[in-house]
Chain A
Amino acid sequence: MDKETQRKWDSASRTLDLFTYGENRRLGPHKRQMLSKIHGATLMVAAGTGNDFEFFPPGQHIVAIDISPKMLERAAKKAAAYQGTIELCEVDVCELPFPDASFDTVVTVCTFCSVPRPVVGLRELHRVLKPGGQVLMFEHVRSKIGPFSIFLDLMTPLSRRFGPDLNRDTVGNVQKAGFRLRREENVYLDIVKIIEAVKESA
């Protein structure tokens, strides 16, 4: 377990709901549309305070993990309100305790901007997905547009101290981890994206 990352997100749990208030209202329809594609055994990585549970289609059984126990404490009430079952577990995405090929779908929402070793984490997701399984990601990434990318690079040393990196190449990392990119959609500029990838059948 990465204790430094755990401490950072324990601390961030106090203000996360405040900072995602606008995000959930503005980007909620995009998240709901993406999450409507989940099927079978589903793993949600970095559940946070459970703000995204409301966007899951009802009637699912979801295993939701987070590295921060403080986040999970706050998520418990929202998990209880979900019309299905959400099982919360304190787990580091880089050390998943699940057997190989356990899940049909893995979901992440603004997660791989924050995982210190993103390719290691994504390889773990690849391992626990069944062949043919899908990963659905709602993520912000480094822009390919010059002035924006410079700004995001400049801001990252500051943002990293309290929250996420702003300049991750998550689409590239997904492919490095062995996934095949199925779909990529820009939600805002080329920064906020929906990324869908699959684990090829053997």
Chain B
Amino acid sequence: MYFVIGDYMAGMLIGALTALGVRAVVWPGMDMVIAMLLGMAVGMAIHLILGLLLAPLLEMFYTMMPAMVIGMYGGMLFGMRDSMAAGSQTLGAAAVVGALFGAIVVFGLKVYDCTLRGVVVDTGD
């Protein structure tokens, strides 16, 4: 249970900080492609720093893979969204959307992990 809660908390934290980081560098009206690339770069930087800090508690890959998806793809999405000024007028609202995105990614990866986990090859000897 410690790890399940930890995974969701980490995902939500990385999502929220990515959304806030993107909000700090992308402004409404910015070229959407540039906003997307900038958002991705910010997300990657945030996920690397937080991933490194959280990995000792949660295990490296369990931390890094969701953090990568949240940082990279979340950063792109938040960048596009902020450049269009589409929703989340306040910083708090942006952080909530980021945290929600993080939680959804963690849930999605847990479901995906369930489909992949288990024996791939077994010759039976």
The tally of residues in A whose CB lies under 8 Å from a CB in B reads 28
CB pair A185 B120 closer than 8 Å? yes
- Chain A interface: which of B12-20, B21-29, B57-65, B95-103? B57-65
The tally of residues in B whose CB lies under 8 Å from a CB in A reads 27
Main SS class of interface, B: helix
Q: Separation in Å of the A73 CB from the closest CB of chain B?
A: 21
With A184-B119, A186-B117 known as contacts, the answer to whether A191 contacts B55 (CB < 8 A) is: no
**Bound CA–CA A162/B112 (angstroms):** 30
A-B pairs, 5 with minimum CB distance: A184-B121, A184-B120, A22-B59, A26-B59, A23-B59
Task: List residues of chain A with CB under 8 Å of any chain B CB.
Answer: 18-23, 25-27, 140, 147-148, 151, 155, 180-192, 198
A-B contact pairs, 23 of them (CB 8 A): A19-B60, A21-B56, A22-B3, A22-B63, A23-B60, A26-B58, A27-B59, A148-B68, A180-B123, A182-B122, A182-B123, A184-B121, A185-B118, A185-B119, A185-B120, A187-B117, A188-B113, A189-B61, A189-B112, A189-B116, A190-B120, A191-B65, A192-B61
